[in-house]
Amino acid sequence: MVAQLQRLGFREAVGYDHRGYTIVRGDIPYGNLFRLLKDLRREPSGWFLPDTPPEQLPAPLRDLLPVRWVEVLADADLPPAAPPALPSNRLRMTPDLRAALDDPKGKDRPLRVEVVMTDRVDDQLADTIRTRLRTGFVTVTVDPVSKLRVTEYATIEGIVGNIIAVRFVRPADLDRFMYEPGVAGARLPREAAETVAPVPPDAKRTAVGQALAASRLDEFHRRGFRGKGVRVVVVGSDFAAAAGMIGKALPASTRVLDLTAELSPTFLPAPPSPDRAAAGPATALAVHAAAPDAELTLVRVDPSAFFQLLTVARLVRGEPGYSEALQSRIMELSFAADDHRLRYRDAVEEYRQAFANLSDEERPRQRRENARKALEALQAEEKELIARIERSTAFQRALRALAGANVVVNTLVWESGYPLDGLSELSAAIDLGFAGEAVVPAGVPRSATRKTVRTPAVWVQASSASGAAVWGGMYRDADTNGVMEFAPPTAPLPPGTWTRELNFLATRAADGKLAPTLPAGAKVRLVVQWREPRDPTVPEVLVPTHVVRLGVF
What's the domain count of the chain? 5
Model confidence at 423, in pLDDT bands (50, 70, 90)?
low
Residue 181 confidence (pLDDT) above 80? yes
Is the link from the previous residue into 281 a cis peptide, with omega within 30 of 0? Answer: no
Residue 536 confidence (pLDDT) above 80? no
Question: What's the gap between Cα 148 and its chain centre?
Answer: 34
Q: Could you tell me if 214 and 300 lie in one domain?
A: yes
Q: What is the pLDDT of residue 467?
A: 53
Where is pLDDT greater, at 417 or 299? 299
Q: What is the pLDDT of residue 535?
A: 47
CA dist., res. 66 & res. 10, Å (int): 15
Where is pLDDT greater, at 47 or 507? 507
357-400 pLDDT tens trace: 999 899 999 999 999 998 998 899 899 999 999 999 999 999 99
Where is pLDDT greater, at 463 or 127? 127
> 517 phi and psi, to 5 degrees?
-125, 160
Q: What is the pLDDT of residue 440?
A: 66
Q: Could you tell me if 291 and 219 lie in one domain?
A: yes
Q: Distance between the two ends of the chain, CA-based, in angstroms?
A: 39
pTM: 0.70
Q: What is the pLDDT of residue 12?
A: 82
Dihedral, CA atoms, 490, 491, 494, 497, nearest 10 degrees? -60
Q: What is the pLDDT of residue 442?
A: 56
Q: What is the pLDDT of residue 295?
A: 96
Q: For all residues of the chain together, what is the average pLDDT? A: 82
Mean pLDDT in residue range 64-68 = 81
Mean pLDDT in residue range 211-236 = 92
DSSP state, residue 21: T
CA dist., res. 468 & res. 513, Å (int): 11
Mean pLDDT in residue range 139-151 = 68
Nearest residue to 313 via CA among 396, 428, 430: 430
Q: Could you tell me if 127 and 179 lie in one domain?
A: yes
Mean pLDDT in residue range 494-515 = 73
Give 54's contacts (C-beta < 8 A, 6+ positions apart): 41, 42, 62
Q: What is the pLDDT of residue 533?
A: 45
Q: Could you tell me if 415 and 298 lie in one domain?
A: yes
| Contact in structure between 287 and 409 (CB atoms under 8 Å) | yes
Residue 104 confidence (pLDDT) above 80? yes
Q: What is the pLDDT of residue 219?
A: 93
Q: Could you tell me if 160 and 259 lie in one domain?
A: no
245 inside domain: yes
Q: Could you tell me if 476 and 492 lie in one domain?
A: yes
Q: Could you tell me if 421 and 511 lie in one domain?
A: no
344 inside domain: yes
| Burial of 455 per CB tally in 10 Å (0-12, 13-18, 19+) | exposed
Q: Could you tell me if 417 and 275 lie in one domain?
A: yes
Weakest-pLDDT range from 12-26, 107-121, 332-346, 437-451: 437-451
**CATH number (domain holding residue 154):** 3.30.70
Domain containing 101 equals: 88-189
Q: Could you tell me if 283 and 418 lie in one domain?
A: yes
> 334 phi and psi, to 5 degrees?
-65, -45
Q: Give the highest mean pLDDT range of 95-99, 391-395, 472-476, 487-491.
A: 391-395
Q: What is the pLDDT of residue 485?
A: 85
Model confidence at 553, in pLDDT bands (50, 70, 90)?
low
Where is pLDDT greater, at 220 or 542? 220
What stretches of 168-261 show up as alpha helix (H) in DSSP?
Answer: 173-177, 205-215, 217-222
Nearest residue to 8 via CA among 21, 23, 37, 20: 37
Give 161's contacts (C-beta < 8 A, 6+ positions apart): 120, 121, 424, 425
